[in-house]
Structure 1
Amino acid sequence: MDKKIQIARPGGIDQLRVSADAPADPGPGEIRVRHEAIGVSFIDIYHRTGLYPLPLPSTLGVEGAGVVEATGPGVTRLSPGDRVAYAGAPVGAYASTRLLPETRAIVLPDDIPANAAAASMLRGITAHMLLTLIFPVGPGTTALIHAAAGGTGALLSRWAKYLGATVIGTTSSMEKAELARQAGADHVIVGRDADLIGEVRNLTEGRGVDVAYDGIGGGMLARTLACVRPFGTVASIGQAAGPIPALNLEDIGPRRSLSLARPSFMAYAADLSTYRTAAAAVMDMLRLGIGGTIDTAYALEDVARAHADLEAGRSIGSMLLVP
């Protein structure tokens, strides 16, 4: 039986509802995808809790991979049986099948498994945005990456190392520290209560990092700002630890002369040209072995457990749902 996961109102994992779902006929310009794997990310949690509001009721999920099962009128680029992956809007991946605009589907090369693509599309396109648009990372760049053993952090570390950067990662435990090193971190600062600012200063001989990526939020952003050199960049990419307190402009400049970005994956992926360029780069990285490391694959109906594990920080790497 086909299934889908919906929420009727924002809230906790108790709002996730599993229901039967009959495959729908594609409309003009649409395809129907039968999922082989669906990515799970903090964007899904932000949608579920209402931090990023959705029209209700709504099916969650912003990335997946599978096989084209049917095509609607006007679809010329794809045919039933084609393998595809996607990320971004429209939301609705948490389902056995879904309708998707043909323009959002990225053809999957034969040498890239569906689970690897589903684990890497959102995080890979996010990494492309951060490493090219927000701050051009290359040889000589020193980057601070929080949660460097997590799904986004590990992929970002691998990609930054490929580009020639020196990576300073942070993790919450020694176990995760080893995983961060395997992902390419040159140095790892362990523990939520570690002397982050002091250790970064020591590692950079007092200079500070060129760029920092903070998906933790809460009170961490203020500490992250203090780790960056003058005229460096901080990208605030999430708030897994809770809301970010109000920021005083004097915390950024003029004395520090910092650039603070609050970039959106959804906004970046909304432009089709940018989306396709970034997706092609993700496929190139996957061929090099630079992609999301799959931590756990859950049955689609076990979505509540997946969300609980992600929110509690029990995941290491990327998480998937399998219909």
Structure 2
Amino acid sequence: MSENLSDEPATVLAPDKEPRTHAINLGALTQVDSRLTLAYESMCIQVRDFNLYYADNHALKNITMAIPQKRVTAFIGPSGCGKSTLLRCFNRMNDLIDSVHIEGTIYLDAQDINDKSVNVAELRRRVGMVFQKPNPFPKSIYENVAYGLRIQGIKNRHILDAAVEKSLKSAALWNEVKDRLYENALGLSGGQQQRLVIARAIAIEPEVLLLDEPASALDPISTLKIEELIYELKSDYTIIIVTHNMQQAARVSDFTAYMYMGEMIEYRDTSTLFTNPSKKMTEDYITGRYG
């Protein structure tokens, strides 16, 4: 039986508590005929009773979930349901909106990310984000990837060269741009620009990658490359993706959360959610009856 991770997430509030475990059937996803036990240490992000308001608008309602480490988790649901709002909570991008008010807790590796002691710049280094529309800087390809490293004070050319090459290779872009590293990044195609932005994000070695509809503005071939890249990157990063494309969620994710009007309706392994959802609202959405 597959477990709905939103019902009872693995959470430890104090170091002296025993970690909970979750037995999750990933056989259909991993082609391994066994059950995988995910302990507390394997939960990268944990959300407890989380609410978010834009002034009087209750945008996120009592969200509780645990996001496994080095897996791909997809958020699906109709426009305005809170997918991107929740995604932005994980690196506190919503702090930039004056009217936002939050309640509840989000943990990254057992640290409350909204605690006043948290260095937000460091949090955003640990939790990188890629947006719907590619946003390369008007600089060379090289300088786009090296930008975050330079901000961190790294000046050694050999270190920068190695990091740029490694990141571009990880983003499956190196072979396409290795002979034009000093050309303006704005000259790349849309798909190449999005992979460059991903390379820029991973150059500073984050733990988590937030992808907000990363392929929605791309053609089918570029979309396929992004999906293949996501599959490769999950061995090194925890990835959370927002997508309106349910087929994409089914292809790339290990776990999927269906959201509606600020509520998390269902959250479980992707195979089960799409083939045997436990909630009628989920079934209606994935079969196109509404949303």
Superposition TM-score, scaled by structure 2 size:
0.27
Between 1 and 2, higher relative CO (CA 8 Å, sep ≥ 6) is seen in: 2
